[in-house]
């Protein structure tokens, strides 16, 4: 029964939390969720970069490869800064260093159309990607909050508040 599983899960979590003195970031579920949230943040940054370059001649949009369990097991490093694209000689060059600290790999993903100037960003497709990334982010945040709630419940004194 569902109630039986809840009691069993609470007992297991209580034993786990009290037997192991580990920080939240050391628990596999939280490490995985943190990595997933980092991946989704990086994906949103990449999509925003695609939208920002919608009028840049010859620009091909990029997207991250799908998230995998192997990526989730690694710690995510800080996100790389967004660099402006210099599209004309009179434009100012970006002053931020071009470093890629992200453990996630991108791939050029030309959209379904290419304009006469070689730009292949389709704003409608980018907005669909952004919406999907946002929904995935919201789901991961919800799962993170529920997991924290289970940990809090497991650490309470039995019969106490």
Structure confidence by residue, pLDDT tens digits, 9-21:
666 666 665 555 5
CA atoms of 109 and 38, how far apart (whole Å):
20
Residue 70 scores a pLDDT above 70? no
pTM > 0.85: yes or no: no
CA atoms of 106 and 114, how far apart (whole Å):
20
Mean pLDDT of the region 98-127:
72
Closest CA to 118 of 56, 64, 69, 41: 56
> Burial level of 126, CB count in 10 A (0-12/13-18/19+)?
buried
Share above pLDDT 90 across residues of the chain, in percent, rounded to a whole number? 22
Q: Return the DSSP state at 81.
A: P
Position 111 confidence tier, pLDDT thresholds 50, 70, 90: low
| Cβ-based neighbours of 144, under 8 Å, separated by 6 or more | 30, 33, 37
């Amino acid at each position: 029964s569902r109630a039986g599983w809840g009691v069993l899960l609470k007992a297991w979590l209580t034993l786990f939390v009290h037997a192991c003195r580990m920080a939240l970031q050391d628990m596999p579920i939280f490490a995985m969720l943190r990595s997933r949230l980092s991946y989704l943040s990086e994906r949103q940054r990449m999509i925003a970069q695609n939208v920002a370059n919608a009028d840049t001649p010859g620009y091909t949009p990029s997207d991250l490869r799908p998230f995998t369990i192997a990526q989730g097991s690694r710690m995510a490093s800080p996100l790389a800064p967004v660099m402006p694209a210099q599209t004309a000689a009179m434009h100012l060059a970006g002053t931020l260093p071009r470093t890629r600290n992200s453990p996630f790999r991108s791939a050029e993903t030309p959209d379904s159309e290419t304009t006469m100037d070689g730009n292949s960003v389709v704003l409608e497709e980018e907005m669909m990607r952004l919406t999907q990334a946002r929904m995935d982010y919201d789901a991961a945040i919800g799962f993170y909050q529920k997991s924290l709630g289970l940990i809090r419940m497991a650490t309470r004194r039995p019969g106490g508040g």
